[in-house]
Amino acid sequence: MRTNVGFSRRIGVSEADNACMLVLGLMSGTSADGIDVALARIGGAPPRLNAKLLAHTSSKFPPALRKEILRVAEQQPISAGELSQLNFRLGEVFANAALAACKTFRISPRKVALLGSHGQTIFHQGRAVRYFGRPTASTLQIGEPSVIAARIGITTIGDFRPGDTALGGQGAPLVPYADYLLYRDVQLGRVSLNLGGIANITVIPAGAKPSQVFAFDTGPANILIDALVSYFTRGRKRFDQNAAVAQTGRSLPALVDELMRDPYLRLAPPKSTGREYYGQAYIQKVLALGRRHRAYPADLIRVATIFTALSVADALHRFVLPKTKIRQLVVSGGGAKNPLLMAQLAAALGGIEILPSASFGIPEEAKEAFAFALMAYETFHQRPSNVPSATGARGRAILGKICYAPPL
Which residues within the stretch 25-44 sit at the binding site for ligand ADP (CB under 6 A)? 29-31, 33
Give yes or no for residue 249 binding ligand ADP (CB under 6 A).
no
- Pairing, β 114-117 against β 48-59: unpaired
Figure out which of the listed residues 25, 29, 169, 335 binds Mg ion, where binding follows CB under 5 A: 29
Of 283, 287, 343, 284, the residue nearest 312 (C-alpha): 343
Figure out which of the listed residues 91, 333, 384, 400 binds ligand ADP, where binding follows CB under 6 A: 333
Give yes or no for residue 335 binding ligand ADP (CB under 6 A).
yes
Q: For the CB of residue 224, give the shortest distance to ligand ADP in the complex, in Å.
A: 10
Which residues within the stretch 189-218 sit at the binding site for ligand ADP (CB under 6 A)? 196-197
Q: For the CB of residue 297, give the shortest distance to ligand ADP in the complex, in Å.
A: 16
Give yes or no for residue 379 binding ligand ADP (CB under 6 A).
no
- Output 30 or 273, the one with its CB closest to ligand ADP: 30
HEC letters along 125-167: EEEEEEECCEEEEEEEEECCHHHHHHHHCCCEEECCCHHHHCC
Give which of ligand ADP, Mg ion, none residue 241 binds (C-beta under 5 to 8 Å, depending on kind): ligand ADP
Q: For the CB of residue 28, give the shortest distance to Mg ion in the complex, in Å.
A: 6
**For residues 220 and 209, what is the distance between their CA atoms, to the nearest angstrom?**
29
- Output 324 or 338, the one with its CB closest to Mg ion: 338
DSSP class of 185 = -
> What is the total count of residues that contact ligand ADP (CB under 6 A)?
18
Give which of Mg ion, ligand ADP, none residue 226 binds (C-beta under 5 to 8 Å, depending on kind): ligand ADP
Give which of ligand ADP, Mg ion, none residue 269 binds (C-beta under 5 to 8 Å, depending on kind): none
Q: What is the dihedral of CA 59, 60, 65, 68, to 10 degrees?
A: 110
Cβ(130)–Cβ(145) under 8 Å? no
Within its chain, how far is the Cα of 162 from the centroid? 15
Q: Where does this chain touch Mg ion (CB under 5 A) — which range of 11-19, 30-38, 227-235, 381-389?
A: 30-38
Three-state DSSP class for 384?
coil
Q: For the CB of residue 15, give the shortest distance to ligand ADP in the complex, in Å.
A: 35
Q: What angle do CA 142, 145, 151 make, to 5 degrees?
A: 125
Q: What's at 357, amino acid-wise? A: S
**For residues 177 and 167, what is the distance between their CA atoms, to the nearest angstrom?**
17
Give yes or no for residue 384 binding Mg ion (CB under 5 A).
no
Handedness of CA 367, 185, 201, 374 (dihedral sign): positive
DSSP class of 170 = -
Give yes or no for residue 202 binding Mg ion (CB under 5 A).
no
- Output 33 or 299, the one with its CB closest to Mg ion: 33
Three-state DSSP class for 60?
coil
**For residues 142 and 87, what is the distance between their CA atoms, to the nearest angstrom?**
5
Give which of ligand ADP, Mg ion, none residue 30 binds (C-beta under 5 to 8 Å, depending on kind): ligand ADP
Within its chain, how far is the Cα of 392 from the centroid? 17
Figure out which of the listed residues 334, 384, 388, 392 binds ligand ADP, where binding follows CB under 6 A: 334
Figure out which of the listed residues 31, 87, 311, 332 binds Mg ion, where binding follows CB under 5 A: 31
Three-state DSSP class for 355?
strand
- Output 95 or 331, the one with its CB closest to ligand ADP: 331
- Which residues bind to ligand ADP, rule: CB under 6 A? 29-31, 33, 196-197, 222, 225-226, 239-242, 333-335, 337-338
- Which residues bind to Mg ion, rule: CB under 5 A? 29, 31, 33
